[in-house]
Amino acid sequence: MNTLLSSKKPILKVSNLKQYFIVKREALFQPKQVVKAVDGISFDLYPGETLSIVGESGCGKSTTGRSILHLDEPTEGEILYKDVSLTEMSKKELRNIRGDIQVIFQDPFASLNPRRTIRQMLDEAMAIQKVLPPKQREARMLELMQNVGLRPEYLERYPHEFSGGQRQRIGIARALAVNPKVIICDEAVSALDVSIQAQILNLLKRLQNDFDLTFLFISHDLSIVKHISDRVMVMYLGKIVEISDKASLFKNPLHPYTKALLSAIPVIDQTIKRERILLKGDVPSPLNPPTGCRFHTRCPFATDLCRDEEPLLRELESGHLVACHFAEKLSAI
């Protein structure tokens, strides 16, 4: 897998991406506060793969997705799509390229306009990105409905007439309508029942094969990540702490935070004994992140070095990167 990836050129290259938000002052003379939602992350996304971003809520995973889409203008950093910088594009150029990178949101109730029929949604998407001339769109719409497992007569219906799973299928059909290369799935199945989650995940996998899609899969659910990913990226407080291919990460997590996360995956088989690593305290506020390694306040192995010096993301094994001063020592534990 790693050799395969390194031989390919990344379809999306994110370098030193920062996304800061200014928080409204609570008192008149209070200095303006800045939330560093994403604070300097770099990673590559390779064509055809599924890269998952995992982490607790507030770690910056959704913000990363939105910054790539330029739904929020990134504060700093560069996003290259097929070697072209999205950050430097004019608004018009950006609009034209939007068809290539699509998004599926978490809440299928909120992500569809309640006043438009499915036909209007799909048709509009194709019209803007000039995917097909009007006459050929009808056939394409029927094909899309079939692709996501919805009946063609549903085209005339409004979103409120569907169940959660069906709506998410509509969201997927809408994303597919513009022939995207990359789809950012922002917690795309989190709002669904487990049985429906499985259906949608399998649908996504099938579509990935059929249409040669690349997924950036944002999730907090490690079981799902384990099922769908090729590679996994773990984020904590706006930073990447570990990034690796799935097998290596789940078998041999190097960062203490990843270890703690993995130990939290529920296991159905009661006979399997395992040690749970319980982290103490809450995630520190991104308004005022800890110095040095951001995880040191909750890390059972933290030393003075961790408090003072921020660990860099470094490649410990081939394709397995980690940001921890003591990763070598800890991997033995």
Size of the site for other proteins (CB under 8 A): 30
The reply to whether 181 sits near other proteins by the rule CB under 8 A is no
The reply to whether 105 sits near other proteins by the rule CB under 8 A is yes
The reply to whether 125 sits near other proteins by the rule CB under 8 A is yes
Q: How far is the CB of 227 from other proteins (least distance, A)?
A: 24
- Look up residue 289 and give its DSSP letter: P
- Look up residue 98 and give its DSSP letter: G
The reply to whether 110 sits near other proteins by the rule CB under 8 A is yes
Q: Segment contacting other proteins (CB under 8 A): 91-99, 136-144, 230-238, 318-326?
A: 91-99
Residue 1 or 110: which CB sits closer to other proteins? Answer: 110
The reply to whether 128 sits near other proteins by the rule CB under 8 A is yes
The reply to whether 31 sits near other proteins by the rule CB under 8 A is no
Other CB atoms within a 10 A radius of the CB of residue 76 amount to 14
Q: How far is the CB of 327 from other proteins (least distance, A)?
A: 37
d(CA 305, CA 169): 49
d(CA 182, CA 98): 10
Q: Would you say 241 and 235 are in contact if contact means Cβ atoms under 8 Å apart? A: yes
Q: Would you say 182 and 102 are in contact if contact means Cβ atoms under 8 Å apart? A: yes
Using CB under 8 A, pick the residue from 113, 163, 285, 291 that binds other proteins: 113
Of 231, 255, 235, which Cα lies nearest the Cα of 331? 255
Q: Which residues does 42 contact at the CB level (< 8 Å), separation at least 6?
A: 14, 15, 16, 17, 77, 240, 313
The reply to whether 112 sits near other proteins by the rule CB under 8 A is yes
Q: Would you say 77 and 16 are in contact if contact means Cβ atoms under 8 Å apart? A: yes
The reply to whether 301 sits near other proteins by the rule CB under 8 A is no
The reply to whether 82 sits near other proteins by the rule CB under 8 A is no
Backbone angles phi, psi at 185, to 5 degrees: -100, 100
Residue 205 sits at the vertex; the CA angle it makes with 204 and 209, to the nearest 5 degrees, is: 115
Using CB under 8 A, pick the residue from 8, 160, 206, 314 that binds other proteins: 160
The reply to whether 192 sits near other proteins by the rule CB under 8 A is no
Residue 103 or 141: which CB sits closer to other proteins? Answer: 103
Cα-based distances in Å from 8 to 4, 76, 175, 249: 7, 26, 25, 21
Q: Segment contacting other proteins (CB under 8 A): 113-121, 228-236, 246-254, 323-331?
A: 113-121
Using CB under 8 A, pick the residue from 29, 57, 90, 115 that binds other proteins: 115
Q: Would you say 19 and 75 are in contact if contact means Cβ atoms under 8 Å apart? A: yes
Cα-based distances in Å from 98 to 102, 122, 130, 133, 134: 7, 15, 12, 18, 20
Query: For the chain, what's the residue count?
Result: 333
Backbone angles phi, psi at 221, to 5 degrees: -100, 105
The reply to whether 134 sits near other proteins by the rule CB under 8 A is no
The reply to whether 200 sits near other proteins by the rule CB under 8 A is no
- Considering only residues 38 through 77, tell me which ones interact with other proteins, judged by CB under 8 A: 66, 69, 71
The residue whose two tokens read 């008192």 is: 27
The reply to whether 238 sits near other proteins by the rule CB under 8 A is no
The reply to whether 114 sits near other proteins by the rule CB under 8 A is yes
Residue 35 or 321: which CB sits closer to other proteins? Answer: 35
The reply to whether 32 sits near other proteins by the rule CB under 8 A is no
The binding site for other proteins (CB under 8 A) comprises 66, 69, 71, 94-99, 101-103, 105-107, 110-115, 124-125, 128-129, 158, 160, 171, 174, 178
